[in-house]
Each structure stands twice: as structure tokens, then as C-alpha cells.
Amino acid sequence: MHSQHLVFLAALLCACTSTPRRGGGGGGVQAPGGAGEDGAGDAGDPGEQFDPGGDAGGQGGPADDGGPGDQGDPGDQGEDDGEDAEPDPEPEPDPEPDPIPFCYQTCRTPRDCVIENAGAGFDEDNYECDDGTCRYTGCNSDRECADGQVCREAFGTPSCQLACNRPADCAANQVSPAYDEDNWACEQGGCRYLGCNNDAECEQPGRQLQCLELEGFDWSYCALACDRVADCFNPEFPQVAYDADNYACDEGICRYTGCNGDAECREQFDASYACREPPRAEDP
């Protein structure tokens, strides 16, 4: 689901960056550089072996030659050669993981979702109020984006991305090796992030990160490594929705487990926020 992709990315950035900022109705996140059987059956039984020919003709004078012995009947062919056997059933797919709850802005109408002074790409016609939760539907055209940006799909939702003529344009002003020229593509005049290429690109002073594939996407990201949950957040900058009880250290990688209730979201953001599962946009 497109909106689920965006909110999952928000948690990744919260683990790997500084204080989370309000944007995209609480669930959105700016794109980097952007604005904001084997089927063989059982073999048949082998046929019975037939006996050799019958008694040989009698020996002696010019008597009748012994007639040739009767030929034994050929063995019965196995009735089942395996071709008609039923294939083994395909294994059941793994169940989808439970959705992770995030802090979302609540609403009665799309107007409640509008972010003041955020530009034309974040006004009433860029949101849906989905079961009381704001869902960002994306920019509608290049005109809604700031100068130097274009409206292009990113992570399943159209959003304002840097305009470009070549990948080097996307890497301008980037300081991390994970966001330099070989991490971008310039497609239809807009920047598309390709992800990190290796662990070395993710290195930061005092932080352990690994370049990992992000499930559901065709790119990798710099994931915060850990030995314990305390490695997943910065205690010097308390964030009630992003502290010890919101993370797990899962096989050496920090994993955001979600908010724990409306109170966390209200304290983290404001009274209009609540802890909700991602709104589910219908597939086209």
C-alpha cells in the first residue's frame, strides 16, 4: 500500500536522523533529495520378469526338429509411470506482518489535514480523510511544487522531487556518500533515489549503519545497527514516540515497532494526532 510505504520510511528516518518533523499529515516523509515442487509422481511398479523360452526341441535323429520354445510373455508394464501423478501442493505464502501503528493527524474532512504555509502541494486537494485519518495522496502537477522541483512518483505516491537533467544534479549539496551521483537516477526530468550501494557509503562518525534492502522497494537504505534497544534512539533528545519502548533490536538492526497509544502522539506532536495503523489505499 502506498501510504504504508511512506509511513514506514518515516520510522527509518527517525532511527537514522534527528528529531522527526511534522509533515505529510503526520505519516508522510520526504524522499531523499526531494521536497518534503517438485511435480514428479511416484514411478510405476516394474513389470514382472518373464521366463525364458519353453522346452527346447528333442535331440536325436532326423526326427522333427524340436520346435522353438514358447516365448515367455513379456512382463506387465508398470501401470503408473509417474506422469499422471498429482503434483505436490504449493506451500502457503507467509502471512503479511501486522501493520505498524504510527502517529497520524486525525480529521473529519481533508481540510483538517492541510499543513499551513507548506505550499500548494500540501493543501486540501492533496489529502483524503480516510476513516478519520489523514492520508497524503500526493502532488497533482509540477505547478504545486516549489521552484526547481517537479511532481514525480516516489515510493508509490507522487511528490515534489528535485528537477534534473542528469544524476549529478540530484547529488548537489549532498554530504553523505549514500546520496552522491551513483545513488540517483534522473527520470523524466525528476530525481529518483536508487538507494545505498554498500555499507561503506552508510558510515557516519559514532554510528553503526548497514546498507540493507527495504522490503517492498527496489532500493536499499542505511539501517541503524544495534547491540541493544538503547542503540536505536538518542537519549539526549527525548522523543516520547521514538524512544526505548518504540524500538526492537532485531538481529542486530533497529526496527521501529510503532507508537503505543494516542497519548504518545499528542505529546510528540499535538492534540490533533493519534496512534493509528496506516490507512489502506486501494490498489489501482
- Residue 53's contacts (CB-CB under 8 Å, 6 or more residues apart) are 68, 69, 70, 71, 72
Strands (E), 71-156: 102-105, 127-130, 133-136, 149-154
pLDDT of residue 282: 52
Stretches in the chain below the pLDDT threshold 70: 1-85, 94-97, 216, 279-284
Strand 133-136, strand 127-130: pairing = antiparallel
pLDDT of residue 221: 92
pLDDT of residue 10: 46
pTM more than 0.75: no
What is the C-alpha separation between 27 and 145, in angstroms, rounded? 19
What is the C-alpha separation between 133 and 198, in angstroms, rounded? 37
What tens digit of pLDDT does each residue of 57-108 get?
A: 333 333 344 444 444 454 454 445 555 667 777 777 766 667 899 999 999 9
